[in-house]
Structure 1
Amino acid sequence: MKKFKKLIFMSKMFVVVLFFNVIIQSLFADTLVVVAGENFSVNTLTKEEIRSIYVAKKFHVGGQKVIPINLGIDNPLRLKFESEVVNVDRDILSRIWLQAHFLGYKPPKTFKTQEMVAEFLSKVDNSIGYVDESMAQKYHLKILFREHK
């Protein structure tokens, strides 16, 4: 019984530490940037163009089909991106992509970490996503848009 209580206590402590880690990372995060691989067909995108891509209104940039990339649903940077750049309620966004799916369009691919997003973007030329600016620099990604704090 003591081992079970200790296991429960350790599990709860792990969750608390993980929670505070996410909070601290979001507080000290770099500037949010929308990025693509170095060979992406354009050098900049406006906030409205990015919003149009992420709300299934725009599917091509510079003559190429664009693959939008998201972070996981509870990632603090995704929450920031959706509120500051896309500026659409998550429920509405889900409905938009559900409708687009029936028209043959795929919703944004989702990756768990910024590293996974950056790695994908560096390998797939027509994809865009968002990461902290330091991550963009680390992976030599092209910065298309910078959200100022």
Structure 2
Amino acid sequence: MKQIALLCLLCIALSASEYSVVISKKTMISAVTAQQIRDIFLMKRHSLGNQKVIPVNLLGQDISRITFENEILKMDRDHLNTYWIKQHFQGTTPPITQSSYDSVKMFVQNVEGAIGYIPSSMVDNGVKVIYEF
């Protein structure tokens, strides 16, 4: 019985994902708060200091996007959809989306001010981590 419990804990630990919010290495931003990230992805904030920022999301059903919305944006899918419907009528559009982690990473590397999130295991010298969740 003890072995089964340990095996279950190991499986949970292995399936737990850790993500990093990343920007280009060329960007001078070194760290941000969860609230700043939230404001950026809700299109309430368009710069950090003198740096214009462009948020990029994964497609809607990706597990990391759902995790991001719950942990960083502090909204479930229904609340977020209602938020964006209201924003639409005020002329605000949601962040752009990319179809894969690789696409998000390439976008962040190549578009000045782009900010996105990827699994921490994908972080390399092409991007800079500014927040982890």
With the length of structure 2 as denominator, give the TM-score of the two structures: 0.79
Map of 1:121 onto structure 2: 108
Q: Which runs of 5+ in 2 are unaligned?
A: 1-13
In structure 2, do the counterparts of structure 1 residues 102 and 41 end up closer, same or farther at CA, with 3 Å as the change threshold? farther
Moved over 4 A (4+): none
Q: Which runs of 5+ in 1 are unaligned?
A: 1-25
Conserved? CA contact 1:34–1:129, under 8 Å: yes
Letter in 1 for 2:77: R
Matched, 1:87 2:74: yes
Map of 1:5 onto structure 2: none
| Whole-angstrom distance in 1 between the partners of 2:85 and 2:49 | 26
Conserved? CA contact 2:42–2:94, under 8 Å: no
Shift of 1:111: 0.9
The alignment of Structure 1 onto Structure 2 pairs a total of residues equal to 121
| Whole-angstrom distance in 1 between the partners of 2:92 and 2:27 | 21
What secondary structure sits across from 1:52 in the alignment?
A: helix
Conserved? CA contact 2:24–2:112, under 8 Å: yes
In structure 2, do the counterparts of structure 1 residues 84 and 71 end up closer, same or farther at CA, with 3 Å as the change threshold? same
Give CA deviations for 1:94-141 in whole Å, capped at 9, x if unaligned.
23333334444331111111001001100001110000112122x621
| Whole-angstrom distance in 2 between the partners of 1:41 and 1:141 | 12
Letter in 1 for 2:128: K
Matched, 1:27 2:15: yes
With the length of structure 1 as denominator, give the TM-score of the two structures: 0.71
In structure 2, do the counterparts of structure 1 residues 59 and 102 end up closer, same or farther at CA, with 3 Å as the change threshold? farther
Q: How large is the RMSD of aligned CA atoms in angstroms? A: 2.1
In structure 2, do the counterparts of structure 1 residues 75 and 37 end up closer, same or farther at CA, with 3 Å as the change threshold? same
Shift of 1:91: 2.4
Conserved? CA contact 1:59–1:65, under 8 Å: yes
What secondary structure sits across from 1:120 in the alignment?
A: helix
| Whole-angstrom distance in 1 between the partners of 2:115 and 2:27 | 9
Identity %: 32
Give CA deviations for 1:73-101 in whole Å, capped at 9, x if unaligned.
11111111111111112222223333334
Matched, 1:45 2:32: yes
